Structure 1
Amino acid sequence: MMKKEKMLIIKSTVIALDTIEMVLENSYISQYAVPGQFLHMNAEGHTLRRPISIADVDRASETITILFKIIGSGTKQLAAYQPGMSIDVLGPSGNGFYLEIEENPTILLIGGGIGVPPLYYLGKTLAREDVNIISVLGFQSADYVFYEQKFKELGKTFIVTNDGSYGERGFVTDVLNKVGQFDCYYSCGPLPMLQAITGKLKGKKGYISLEERMGCGVGACFACVIPTDNQGGYKKICKDGPVFNAQEVSL
């Protein structure tokens, strides 16, 4: 159940170009957050909260790790917060990933940019179940790459950059033919990337997490709706998502 909480900042670090990793402490959220959920964070001086995906949870130390990219005044304000300060947060918010854990499955994780962080918490959770994990992570350039070693500790990992300055050159879809067989995929990233992936992997079992600017974050304002693929209706990304079956919604 989502609650309004104060979270203490333990650490804030620049880990790539314009990319902040922040470790927060809170007893309630750290015990109940699951992979795929997010924090709806209040940036001082801004009316609307910012949704930030949960990248990792340590229940023993009661900490939550988030990553975000500085792309506007809201995230710039969040980046200015220092250890020892507190942030007003709603969380854990949204519905997380449905975990496909069968006998000896191979799971493909596909992340783009700031869509990579929620897949790390998912990957760590799956790894505890002896799942074979393959990761494909896409970034703009070498300056933006993060968490490569963390994903390599989970399984085989491909890094792709748009300009070819690190890893493979191109987009995440350009290396899908190299990953081999897999049973299910999970993906998070920009909408054009998700459109390309769901198109290329049509018919494959998969789940996608949508990045979206939100209003209320609790399903009341209809600011973040997406049409369903075959029901003629709409789903609210903040409340029904941000994770959906890849065949459930129309991108």
Structure 2
Amino acid sequence: MMKEQWMEVVSNQPIALDTYEMTLHGELVSTMTQPGQFLHLKIGEGFSHMLRRPLSIADVDQDDQTVKIIYKVIGEGTKWLSQAKPGDQIHVLGPRGHGFPVEKVTGAHIYLIGGGVGVPPLYYLGKKLAERNRVTAVLGFQTMDAVFYEDKFQELGETMILTDDGSYGKRGLVTDVLEADMDLYYTCGPLGMLHAVTRKLKDVKGYVSLEERMGCGIGACFACVCKTTDPNDDRGYRKICKDGPVFPAKEVVLWQI
């Protein structure tokens, strides 16, 4: 069931180029148990920004009732968010959507493949999976200044960093280092990256988390839809905010979103 709450900003600080980590506190955290879901945040005051912002859950601390979200400042809405101070209140809907399936995964070698701001939801996922599995993280960024959470992923298992310009880690794309020695993969990032990853790993079971602009965020509109390959789906599409944002890799048509 969707819930809503005014949550208190505990911290809000830059962690990489134009990238911020915000920690929120509130009882709503008790419902955030499935990695891969997202929060829908109200931006601005009054009617200055009509649409909320969907932000993935990067980490959760149930004892402290805190949740971390990571976002990139790319417009007026996220600029407003970056100016929030400890003690400020932000209205939150969530957690929304369907996350990564993890309950039955055990004893497997799992790859977490992320790109840019698609990296955050993989960290909370990785914490869950590392308890019973071997985890390898492959994280891609544009440049050295954009890299974040490397040390956190290293605590979970082997971690490879790639940058487009070669300024840090290995130069290249995440697909350049993917091997066949995996049982399962989870990936989140730009559409082009997801398409390339799923094509290269077409014979491996995997799940993709789709990043998409959303309207209502609750499945009432058609602002965030993708085509499905499921012949039993009469609609022919899935709503990313409601049916996703996580899907089995072979059930969505990535290049026609």
Shift of 1:101: 4.1
Aligned length: 248
Structure 2 residue identity aligned to 1:15: I
Would you say the 8 A contact 1:19–1:68 is kept in 2?
Answer: yes
Partner of 1:42: 42
Partner of 1:89: 92
Partner of 1:244: 247
User: What are structure 1's unaligned runs of at least 5 residues?
Assistant: none
Partner of 2:122: 119
Please give the TM-score of this superposition, normalised by the length of structure 2.
0.94
User: What are structure 2's unaligned runs of at least 5 residues?
Assistant: none
Q: 66-75 or 225-234, which moves further after superposition?
A: 225-234
Distance 2:49 2:167 in 1: 36
SS across alignment from 1:239:
helix
1:164 aligns with 2:166: yes
Would you say the 8 A contact 2:42–2:51 is kept in 1?
Answer: yes
Structure 2 residue identity aligned to 1:94: G
State how 1:19-30 maps to structure 2 within 5 Å: 19-30=19-30
Distance 2:31 2:236 in 1: 34
Would you say the 8 A contact 2:138–2:159 is kept in 1?
Answer: yes
State how 1:176-191 maps to structure 2 within 5 Å: 176-177=178-179, 181-191=181-191
Partner of 1:140: 142
SS across alignment from 2:29:
helix
Partner of 1:4: 4
1:198 aligns with 2:201: no
Shift of 1:33: 3.7
Q: 135-144 or 100-109, which moves further after superposition?
A: 100-109
- In the alignment, which of 61, 65, 68 is matched to residue 68 of structure 2? 65
Would you say the 8 A contact 1:31–1:59 is kept in 2?
Answer: no
Shift of 1:100: 6.4
Structure 1 residue identity aligned to 2:209: S
SS across alignment from 2:139:
strand
Spell out, residue by residue over 1:121-143, the C-alpha distance to the aligned partner (whole angstroms, 9 max, x if none).
00001122x21000000000000
Partner of 1:79: 82
Structure 2 residue identity aligned to 1:173: T
Would you say the 8 A contact 1:101–1:131 is kept in 2?
Answer: no
Q: Where has structure 1 moved over 6 Å in runs of 4 or more?
A: none
Please give the TM-score of this superposition, normalised by the length of structure 1.
0.96
1:153 aligns with 2:155: yes
Structure 2 residue identity aligned to 1:40: H
Would you say the 8 A contact 1:189–1:210 is kept in 2?
Answer: yes
